[in-house]
Structures are given as C-alpha cells and as structure tokens.
C-alpha cells in the first residue's frame, strides 16, 4: 500500500466534504434574511446550523464529522509514511497528534457561543499555538535528514520558504491590535449587532483554518517529489 496516495485521497475527501458542508451552510445563512455572512466579520459558530435544532442541521453535523475524520485519517497515513521513510518516527507521530488537536480545537470553536467571549479567546489561542507548533515541526522535520539536500534542491527550498511565509502570516494574525477593542465593538448579547468592517477574532479563527489547509502543500511536495 502506498501511504502517500491514501493520504492524498483522504485529504481531498476532507476538503471536498468539508467544503460542501460549509457552502451549504453559507447558502442557508444567506436565506435567513439577516445580514450576509462575511468571513472577515462572522464567526465559524455563526455558520454552524447545528444549534438551530433542525433535521438538516443534524445531517450537516454528520457530514462535518466525516470531513474531520478524513483530515485525521490523512495525517495518520502521512505520519506512517514519514516514520517509515524519513528516519524520525517520533517527529512524525508528534505532528500527527498536533494536527489532530488542531481539528478538535476548531470543532470546539464551532460550538462555542458568541456570548462566551473568553471561551473563544482560549480556544482560538490554542488553535494558534498548535498551528505554529505544526509549522515548526514541518520546518525542522523536513530538514533534519539531510541539510545539504535542502541547500542543493530547489523543491526543498520552496518548502521551507512556503512554511516561513505561513509562520509570518500566523504572526500577523496574532499581533493584530484590534483584538483589544473587539469586545467593545460587538454587542454579543444583542440579536442586532454592529460590527466593524473587519473583526479580528473571526479573522483569527478562519485564518487558522486557512493556515492548516495551506500547510498541506509543502507536505505534499515532501511526500511526492
């Protein structure tokens, strides 16, 4: 069995299934008659239809669970391949655990009510730390077998540059100063809210999803090239 192919298949399934669920929830949200959903202003929790208690929301929840399990499975097979072929099993299994915790922490954010502002801060922070840890593991894991190969091979240079860009993007999300005023700008206890054009906390939560997905690009290069 080629674990690289299985990894790629589960990754693709996770993206397709999760993307379908997200798109479907986006359409449902737009039909509510409230303000349009904006990924720079609205939380992942607000896109989650499960809390409405409708039958289709239970189906969507099941679809999202399947998507999450696909991502976990993809990391299982990627870790097994790297452990068998990169000569550092411990690092491979550690980044599997970290990647799994990232998925779990995001699912928790999806069910954390907006009134629980501290809960959002806590799990968003956990998500940030785990994403940074995953990127650092990638950085050291991809280079710890043959440093000269990193210098001599363009593909490896691309991987490292890409990871560094993601790390810088993660730091940009972290140091955004508007989080200090976010609680004042948003009336979380009101049905009708007034938010700025760009809200830091939703950007942080969605931004970490983007970072996690993009981090698979250098991993694909490591596995297949």
Please write the tens of the pLDDT for every residue from 118-162: 888 889 889 988 988 888 887 776 655 544 444 454 456 676 778
The answer, yes or no, to whether residue 18 has pLDDT greater than 90, is yes
- The reported pTM is 0.83
Per-residue pLDDT of 188-198, as tens digits, reads 444 445 667 77
* Predicted pLDDT at 56: 66
Please enumerate, as own/partner, the contacts of 15-20 that have beta carbons within 8 Å and a separation of 24 or more.
Answer: 15/213, 17/63, 17/66, 17/67, 17/70, 18/64, 18/67, 18/68, 18/70, 18/71, 20/63
Percent of the chain with pLDDT over 90: 26
């Amino acid at each position: 069995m080629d674990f690289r192919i299985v990894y790629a298949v589960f990754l693709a399934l996770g993206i397709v299934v999760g993307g379908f669920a997200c798109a479907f929830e986006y359409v449902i949200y737009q039909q509510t008659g409230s303000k349009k959903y904006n990924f720079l202003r609205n939380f992942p929790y607000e896109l989650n239809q499960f809390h409405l208690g409708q039958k289709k929301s239970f189906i969507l929840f099941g679809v999202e669970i399947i998507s999450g399990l696909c991502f976990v499975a993809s990391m299982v097979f990627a870790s097994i391949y790297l452990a068998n072929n990169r000569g550092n099993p411990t690092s491979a299994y550690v980044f599997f655990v970290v990647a799994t915790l990232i998925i779990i922490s995001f699912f928790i954010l999806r069910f954390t009510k907006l009134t629980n502002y501290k809960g959002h801060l806590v799990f968003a922070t956990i998500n940030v730390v785990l994403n940074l840890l995953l990127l650092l593991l990638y950085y050291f894991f991809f280079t710890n077998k043959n440093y000269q190969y990193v210098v001599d091979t363009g593909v490896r240079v691309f991987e490292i540059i890409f990871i560094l860009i993601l790390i810088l993007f993660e730091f940009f999300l972290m140091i955004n100063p508007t989080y200090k005023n976010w609680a004042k700008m948003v009336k979380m206890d009101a049905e009708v809210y007034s938010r700025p054009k760009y809200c830091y906390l939703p950007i942080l939560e969605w931004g970490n999803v983007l970072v996690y997905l993009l981090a698979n690009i250098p991993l694909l290069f490591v596995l297949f090239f």
